[in-house]
Amino acid sequence: MNKFWKILSSTALAVSLLAVPTMSSAQPGPSPQPGDNLPINGYINYEELQRKLAQIAHTSKGRVSVETVGYTNQGRDIYKATVGTGDKVVLIQSEIHGNEKTGTVAILNILQKLGSSNSPDVRRILEELTIVAIPMLNADGSELARRANEMEWAEVVAAFPQLANVSPAWNYYNTPGIWDYDQNPGFDVNRDFNPDLNYVPQAEDFPGNSSAYGWYITPEAQTLRDVYKELKSEFGNVDVFVDLHHQGFPYVDGTDDRVTLSISGKFVTDPNGPGGEKYAEYADNFNYDFSRQLNLAVYDALQAKGNSVFTNISLYNQNIDLPGTALGSFALNGSGTVLFEISGQTQNFGQKMKGMLVKTVETGLMGIIDGVTDGSVHELNPEDYEDIPLSSRNPSGL
Ligand SMILES: [Zn+2]
């Protein structure tokens, strides 16, 4: 155990004492995370994001374009940044959970680099790829330093009157005793997706559950869906979708090493395998091997950093079936999909550790970007994915 994790472990212990488990790991689903009510220090907030995006767009002299593609339920802008003119699409998203901010900073660093460097490598990336980033999808949750968005069930019913007589969606947080959700309810936006991108909420589909599809009832999920649909109609396919998250503090299976980052390409039961019959209509699109190759590109890029915290990478829980997640729904639509789960909630770290975790996400993302740019990702053996060590304690909150 190196110094980095010694410091982290004492923090982790302090956090675990505060933890109030609200749902067993065997039952993946919305669960307010320990630390949800702690202040966020030293990570980017919404106002800083606006300033930083404007600065990146300005200094890139038109290379990075930034636009508002939608609004959160509380009316904040949802920003989309685009860089590159290639025909392969890489869509990267952060902060669908508002207190998971490492990825947001990593995205901004990459946009800055791709927007200002004139190296041959960067020029080639921009020729081959169109990189689209949504750096802070759930800005309302971000401002409240919590997982869920800020929205009441009554607002859903006002928008969809056909839901007037049903029980609220299962991913609605309004329970007394769990942080402030009884005073200020919201939804886990990452259970509000449906592989039918034109789905309209139906009363009989509520309240739903973790193994059923979501509904696009939140403006945040609607906005991401709209971005995805537009890219799909313009390019034919969204080749890659990456979703950036935070997890707890698992170990690399078979070691005493704390996991720095868990990754995954598996979010739903394979439509072409046992138990996948319910996804039969998506079987032809589904490209699990490409998802596995993309994850290997992340893994290999980090292993290349040599023996360090950067190499403590594990697979996230592989026994999940969550079709209402953005990753699950977009995988069924044919995107190669990658989950990043960096260890620890945003609130747990000092500046130095935060910097290392941002670097870990950046390195992994560049592994994908480089591998798709030069096509080397297609030469990786998908079966090697199964050799990446598992996490010894499997969080499953996604
Ligand atoms: Zn998350």
Query: Domain-by-domain residue ranges, the chain?
Result: 3-387
Cα(213) to ligand 1 centroid in Å equals 18
**In one letter, which amino acid is 72?**
T
Cα(171) to ligand 1 centroid in Å equals 14
Cα(100) to ligand 1 centroid in Å equals 6
Cα(247) to ligand 1 centroid in Å equals 7
Cα(264) to ligand 1 centroid in Å equals 13
User: What percent of the chain is modeled with pLDDT above 90?
Assistant: 79
Q: How open is the CA angle 330-334-340, to the nearest 5 degrees?
A: 50
**C-alpha to C-alpha distance for 282 and 147, rounded to whole angstroms:** 29
Cα(243) to ligand 1 centroid in Å equals 9
pLDDT at position 31 over 80: no
Residue holding tokens 């170990």? 251
Burial 304-335 (b: 16+ CB within 10 A, else e): eeeeebbbbbbbbbeebbbbbbbbbbbbbbbb
Cα(118) to ligand 1 centroid in Å equals 34
Cα(74) to ligand 1 centroid in Å equals 20
Compute the average pLDDT of residues 120-130: 98
Q: Is the pTM value of this prediction over 0.85?
A: yes
Please give the biggest Cα pair distance in the chain: 59
Cα(344) to ligand 1 centroid in Å equals 11
Compute the average pLDDT of residues 74-102: 97
Cα(269) to ligand 1 centroid in Å equals 20
SS3 string of 236-292? CCCCEEEEEEEECCCEECCCCCECCEEEECCCCCCCCCCCCHHHHHHCCCCCHHHHH
Check: CB of residue 365 under 8 Å from CB of residue 304: no
Cα(99) to ligand 1 centroid in Å equals 8
Cα(398) to ligand 1 centroid in Å equals 5
Cα(55) to ligand 1 centroid in Å equals 27
pLDDT at position 287 over 70: yes
Cα(115) to ligand 1 centroid in Å equals 28
**pLDDT given for residue 8 in this prediction:** 41
**Minimal CA–CA distance to 264: which of 357, 345, 331?**
331
* Helix 351-373 and helix 3-18, axial crossing angle in degrees, nearest 10: 110
- Beta partners for residue 341, in sequence order: 245, 262
Check: CB of residue 149 under 8 Å from CB of residue 96: no
Instruction: Extract the tokens encoding 58.
Output: 């300005």
Compute the average pLDDT of residues 189-218: 98
Cα(396) to ligand 1 centroid in Å equals 10
**Minimal CA–CA distance to 327: which of 318, 336, 316?**
336
DSSP letter string, 84-132? ---SEEEEEEE-SSTT--HHHHHHHHHHHHHHH---HHHHHHHHHEEEE
Give the count of beta carbons closer than 10 Å to the beta carbon of residue 1. Answer: 10
**C-alpha to C-alpha distance for 88 and 110, rounded to whole angstroms:** 17
**C-alpha to C-alpha distance for 141 and 165, rounded to whole angstroms:** 27
**Minimal CA–CA distance to 243: which of 356, 330, 172?**
330
First-to-last C-alpha distance (Å) of the chain: 27
Please say whether the structural domain 3-387 has been given the CATH code 1.10.3720.10. Answer: no
Q: pLDDT by residue (tens digit) across 340-375? A: 999 876 666 777 888 899 999 999 999 999 999 999
**C-alpha to C-alpha distance for 214 and 324, rounded to whole angstroms:** 5
**pLDDT given for residue 352 in this prediction:** 81
**pLDDT given for residue 178 in this prediction:** 74
Cα(209) to ligand 1 centroid in Å equals 18
Cα(245) to ligand 1 centroid in Å equals 4
Cα(33) to ligand 1 centroid in Å equals 9
Cα(92) to ligand 1 centroid in Å equals 14
Cα(370) to ligand 1 centroid in Å equals 25
Cα(96) to ligand 1 centroid in Å equals 7
- Break the chain down into helix, strand, coil percent, rounded to 5: 40, 15, 45
Cα(178) to ligand 1 centroid in Å equals 17
**In one letter, which amino acid is 107?**
I
pLDDT at position 112 over 60: yes
229 band by pLDDT with thresholds 50, 70 and 90: very high
Cα(397) to ligand 1 centroid in Å equals 7
Cα(355) to ligand 1 centroid in Å equals 19
Cα(62) to ligand 1 centroid in Å equals 32
12 band by pLDDT with thresholds 50, 70 and 90: very low
**C-alpha to C-alpha distance for 364 and 356, rounded to whole angstroms:** 12
**C-alpha to C-alpha distance for 23 and 30, rounded to whole angstroms:** 8
**Minimal CA–CA distance to 264: which of 237, 242, 286, 238?**
242
Half-sphere exposure of 86 toward its Cβ, with a 13 Å CA cutoff? 23
